[in-house]
């Protein structure tokens, strides 16, 4: 919708711009200032080495990433071709900023109101962000000649840039596909879903399609290839600390044997938006979103990719929540009936509760994650479990081989599965065999560890627990931190 000068579209009506919003200090200088501050903040907070990837702070950062992704999908849901009640529309549009950060600064209030202009600016976001990173990096290097501590590291800076691209990949996909999302009109024409003043397949739309197609190929295709190539090739030289820092954004959130999970987020972001280009009915668009979310949830449940176990729970909860929202949204696509107002109020309340309920597990999960790594009682419990594990190894070592075989054969399916997981960890870390996708925490962090294979091939028949105890006793302090934290 197009509002008069000094007014901005609020989703259901034009709202008057605040006095300060019409100043150039708000746009473009405010986004630049916020961008520089964000670059510096990400750089300062993004310097953890591999040994710290499992810290509770990084676990909370992953939780925030999951929450942001959740509300980015909620924002996509607000774009389905369905007439929601005003308060539901306002609720959905409250999260629009997660996919369109420019909207926070209301560029419309300073005269940037043409859709073609805002669309082009959004398509150029990766270029503008790269320019901001380059300027900040250059200034830091210049100042670093006199103040060495100020100079930014290239790998760490590049990680920050790509981290933002991956974090907002859903938003980037949405803007690239936005120009292709058309809906039919009663007169036989089609209008752009995000701006009904644009008629599809006419001159202005044809021009913008070229811009959108270029953005789709360069950004979605280009970044997708970069990320995929990194996941395939970089892991072979991941022992290099520089490589770890440069591509940390791709691997820090996920377990070593599910290091490729970032690809699923890229594919999900593309597919969530691509469906709107060939599905024109509101109910069809909703069902498309629900189907993709269900598939992702199922795959995520099988792999449990997150480095912190509680984040698997949060991610699954968030996606179940999104599917509930989608199912509630189908109600508003129904044909009105005599009891429609009452049913609409009930579903709207349900919609509101479902949209906000994802915050319920957030606070206790943060507390549990912090407590597990900082509470003396939690640390004591972990050390107790460590001794019990070593004692279990001793008991297994004392048992006859046939007894061990009978024990394993008699395990239930789920218990045997957990034993296989434990086997993969031990084979990778101690026997140096390629298990868990071949990734060892000790190898990645370049911490030396006694090669248990040498003990085995030398003909010694010591108990397994004795070998492990010897390896742990001889390990340096830095390695003990890896084992016990």
* 339 and 430 part of one domain: no
Q: Are residues 158 and 205 in the same domain?
A: yes
Domain membership flag for residue 16: no
List, for residues 359-386, the tens digit of each pLDDT value.
888 888 899 989 988 999 998 998 999 9
Q: Is residue 324 part of a domain?
A: yes
Q: Is residue 242 part of a domain?
A: yes
For the entire predicted model, the pTM comes to 0.79
Cα end-to-end distance, the chain, whole Å = 55
Count, residues in the chain = 485
Indicate if the pLDDT at residue 188 is higher than 90.
no
The pairing of strands 14-16 and 7-9 is: antiparallel
* Count helices and strands in the chain by DSSP H and E runs: 23, 4
Statement to judge: residues 219 and 323 lie in one domain: yes
Residue 7, phi then psi, degrees to nearest 5: -125, 150
Residue 294 and residue 419: Cα distance in Å, rounded?
29
pLDDT digits (tens, 9 = 90+) for 312-334: 999 999 999 999 999 989 888 76
Q: Domain ends where: 336, 367, 398?
A: 367
User: Are residue 181 and residue 318 in the same domain, yes or no?
Assistant: yes
Q: Which of 367, 399, 424 is the last residue of a domain?
A: 367
Model confidence at 344, pLDDT cuts 50, 70, 90, reads low
Q: Is the peptide bond before 338 cis (omega within 30 degrees of 0)?
A: no
- Lowest-pLDDT range of 62-71, 95-104, 225-234, 377-386: 95-104
Instruction: Say whether pLDDT at 466 is over 80.
Output: no
- Contact between residue 247 and residue 230 where contact means Cβ atoms under 8 Å apart: yes
Provide, for the chain, the percentages of residues in helix, strand and coil under a 3-state DSSP scheme, each rounded to the nearest 5: 70, 5, 25
Question: Taking 80 as the threshold, does the pLDDT of residue 208 lie above it?
Answer: yes
From CA 52, how far away is CA 384, in angstroms rounded? Answer: 23
Q: Does position 396 have pLDDT exceeding 80, yes or no?
A: yes
pLDDT greater than 50 at residue 304 = yes
Q: Assess contact for 106 and 32: CB atoms under 8 A.
A: no
9 has pLDDT over 90: no
Cα(124)–Cα(132) distance, integer angstroms = 12
Contacts of 423 (CB under 8 A, 6+ apart): 435
Give CA angle at 308 (306, 310), nearest 5°.
Answer: 100
* Domain shared by 83 and 165, yes or no: yes
d(CA 226, CA 163): 13
Whether residue 140 is found in the same domain as residue 240: yes
Per-residue pLDDT tens digits for 82-112: 888 888 888 888 888 898 887 777 777 776 7
Per-residue pLDDT at 16: 73
Residue 205: exposed, middle, or buried by beta-carbon count in 10 A (0-12, 13-18, 19+)?
A: buried
Cα–Cα distance, 31 to 110 (Å, whole number): 14
Give the span between the Cα atoms of 455 and 422, in whole angstroms: 21
Residue 13 is assigned to a structural domain of this protein = no
- Say if 232 falls within a structural domain: yes
Task: State the pLDDT at residue 472.
Answer: 42
Q: How far apart are CA 363 and CA 245, in angstroms?
A: 29
Q: Based on the domain organization, do 110 and 222 belong to the same domain?
A: yes
Chain segment 116-156, per-residue pLDDT in tens:
888 999 999 999 999 999 999 999 999 999 999 999 999 99
- pLDDT above 50 (res 481): no
Number of folded domains that form the chain: 2
Q: Same domain for 289 and 243? A: yes
What stretches of 306-448 show up as alpha helix (H) in DSSP? Answer: 309-329, 340-356, 362-374, 376-398, 401-409, 413-429, 441-444
Q: Apex CA 288: angle with CA 249 and CA 349, to 5°? A: 90
By the 8 A CB rule, do 305 and 231 touch?
A: no
Residue 415 has pLDDT above 90, yes or no: no
Same domain, 212 and 268: yes
Compute the mean pLDDT over every residue in the chain, rounded to the nearest whole number: 83
Domain for residue 295, yes or no?
A: yes
Q: Which domain holds residue 463?
A: 375-484
Same domain (yes/no): 338, 420: no
The answer as to whether 14 is a domain residue is no
10 part of a folded domain: no
Task: Map tokens 């919708």 to a residue.
Answer: 1
The mean pLDDT value for 436-441 works out to 60
Residue 432 structure tokens = 């140096």
Average pLDDT score over residue span 424-440: 73
Please determine, for residue 305, whether its predicted confidence score (pLDDT) is greater than 60. Answer: yes
User: What 3-state DSSP class applies to 381?
Assistant: helix
pLDDT exceeds cutoff 90 at 193: no
Q: Are residues 433 and 354 in the same domain?
A: no
How many other β-carbons are positioned within 10 Å of the β-carbon of residue 391? Answer: 11
Domain end (from 349, 367, 385): 367
Q: Give CA separation, 101 vs 49, 95, 423, in Å.
A: 30, 10, 46
The verdict on 314 and 382 lying in the same domain is no
What torsion do the CA atoms of 194, 200, 206, 207 make, to the nearest 10 degrees?
Answer: -30
Contact call for residues 72 and 321 (beta carbons, < 8 A): no
């Amino acid at each position: 919708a197009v509002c008069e000068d000094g007014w901005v579209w609020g989703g259901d009506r034009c709202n008057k711009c605040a006095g300060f919003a019409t100043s150039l200090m708000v746009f473009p200088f405010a986004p630049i200032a916020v961008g520089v501050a964000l670059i510096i903040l990400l750089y300062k907070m993004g310097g953890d080495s591999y040994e710290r990837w499992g810290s509770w702070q990084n676990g909370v950062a992953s939780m925030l990433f999951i929450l942001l992704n959740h509300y980015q999908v909620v924002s996509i849901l607000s774009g389905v071709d369905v007439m929601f009640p005003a308060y539901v529309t306002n609720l959905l549009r409250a999260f629009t900023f997660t996919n369109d950060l420019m909207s926070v600064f209301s560029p419309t209030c300073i005269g940037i109101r043409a859709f073609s202009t805002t669309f082009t600016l959004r398509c150029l976001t990766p270029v503008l962000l790269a320019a901001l990173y380059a300027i900040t990096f250059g200034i830091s290097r210049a100042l670093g000649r006199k103040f060495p501590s100020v100079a930014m590291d290239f790998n760490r800076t590049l990680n920050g840039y790509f981290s933002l691209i991956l974090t907002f990949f859903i938003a980037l996909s949405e803007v690239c596909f936005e120009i292709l999302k058309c809906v039919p009109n009663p007169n036989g024409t089609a209008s752009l879903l995000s701006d009904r003043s644009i008629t599809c397949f006419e001159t202005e739309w044809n021009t913008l399609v070229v811009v959108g197609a270029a953005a789709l190929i360069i950004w979605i295709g280009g970044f997708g290839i970069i990320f995929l190539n990194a996941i395939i090739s970089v892991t072979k030289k991941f022992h290099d600390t520089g490589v770890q820092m440069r591509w940390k954004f791709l691997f820090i959130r996920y377990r070593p044997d599910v290091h490729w999970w970032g690809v699923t987020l890229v594919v999900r972001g593309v597919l969530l938006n691509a469906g709107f280009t060939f599905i024109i009915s509101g109910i069809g668009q909703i069902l498309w979103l629900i189907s993709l979310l269900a598939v992702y949830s199922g795959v995520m449940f099988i792999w449990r990719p997150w480095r912190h176990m509680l984040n698997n729970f949060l991610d699954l909860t968030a996606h179940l929540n999104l599917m509930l929202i989608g199912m509630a949204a189908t109600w508003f696509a129904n044909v009105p009936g005599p009891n429609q107002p009452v049913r609409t109020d009930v579903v709207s309340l349900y919609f509101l509760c479902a949209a906000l309920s994802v915050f319920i597990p957030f606070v206790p999960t943060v507390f549990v994650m912090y407590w597990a790594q900082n509470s003396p009682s939690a640390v004591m419990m972990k050390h107790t479990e460590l001794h019990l594990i070593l004692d279990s190894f001793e008991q297994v070592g004392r048992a006859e081989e046939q007894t061990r075989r009978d024990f394993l054969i008699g395990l239930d399916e789920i218990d045997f599965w957990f034993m296989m997981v434990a086997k993969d960890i031990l084979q990778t870390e101690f026997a140096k065999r390629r298990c868990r996708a071949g990734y060892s925490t000790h190898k990645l962090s370049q911490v030396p560890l006694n090669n248990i294979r040498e003990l085995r091939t030398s003909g010694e028949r010591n108990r397994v627990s004795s070998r492990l105890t010897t390896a742990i006793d001889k390990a340096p302090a830095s390695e003990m931190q890896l084992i016990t934290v």
